[in-house]
Amino acid sequence: MRTIHTGGRTLRIAAISLDLDDTLWPIAPTIERAEARLHAWLEAHFPAVAQAYPVAAMRALRERIWLENPELQHDFTATRLMSLRVAMLPFGALEADVQVAFELFFEARNDVTLFPGALASLQSLAAHWPVVALTNGNADLSRIGLEHYFHARIDARSFGAAKPDRGIFHAACNAAATAPEHTLHIGDHAHQDVYGALNAGMYAAWITAPNSEWPKMSEPQMSAWPKLNGGQLLGDAPHLRAASLSELCASLLA
């Protein structure tokens, strides 16, 4: 356990849970590249599907499938597969073709470019604490080549519920064999990550840029927390905040 003094508070941290998408790498350009690769494959192998579902239409279909199936909203793999079936099977594709299309997309989805300094920061964090990946997404750490830095991985699909569900945060604590009150969660999303961690009784560190859904908050804004996000109360202010994982790591290990 390491003791961190920050902002007049003392944090006793025995383990870390870490968000992946938009914390270690930007997810939007990754998904855009994956969608483009999928569309190119469809143009070559199923041109009628590609014509009926250009990239924007395929994206809209997946979003509609996601909204229409709330029981699967924690499972991006299932909703992606379902959208591919809806798009491809009426044009004569087989289930095996759907699986090939998904594998091509998924391989590209895991072709990520880390934020500057993120790898060195992850290495430093893993050298000082057990780090548990805690994600609502379906990134494959073994394909990305980062699996060995993590003590464990907890994802919404396997757990059966997504952040900010309190249970998924406690599952990360259990995986690290630490109590919530001695576990720091790091993530970019104000509601899913910050509120979720605080609601689970954990420390929370908010990565505010470059892909946070809110701009970096000023001190007066921070003092006015809690705030509403889509009608949902965020609760207490995060214990730590930084513009990047690199900045946060430097603060933790100063």
Which pTM was predicted?
A: 0.88
- 227, 193 Cβ separation under 8 angstroms: no
- Average pLDDT, stretch 185-190? 92
What average pLDDT does range 114-138 have in this prediction? Answer: 96
Q: How confident is residue 212, by pLDDT bands cut at 50, 70 and 90? A: very low
pLDDT of residue 236: 65
The band of 36, judged by pLDDT with boundaries at 50, 70 and 90, is: very high
Do 154 and 171 meet the contact criterion of CB atoms below 8 Å apart? yes
Task: Give the mean pLDDT of 170-184.
Answer: 97
Average of per-residue pLDDT values in the chain: 89
* pLDDT at 230 exceeding the cut of 50: no
User: 188-211 as b/e, with b when 16 or more CB fall inside 10 Å?
Assistant: bbbbbbbbbbbbbebbbbbbbeeb
- Assign residue 69 a region: left if phi > 0, alpha if psi is -120 to 50, beta otherwise? beta
Is residue 185 scored above 90 in pLDDT?
yes
pLDDT for res 222? 47
**pLDDT computed for residue 156 by the predictor:** 96
Mean pLDDT of 248-254: 91
Exposure of 145 by Cβ count < 10 A (0-12 exposed, 13-18 middle, 19+ buried)?
A: exposed
With a cut of 90, say whether residue 220 has pLDDT above it: no
Mean pLDDT (whole number) for 138-159: 97
Least confident of 1-5, 37-41, 67-71: 1-5
Q: How far apart are CA 117 and CA 214, in angstroms?
A: 22
Q: What is the pLDDT of residue 20?
A: 97
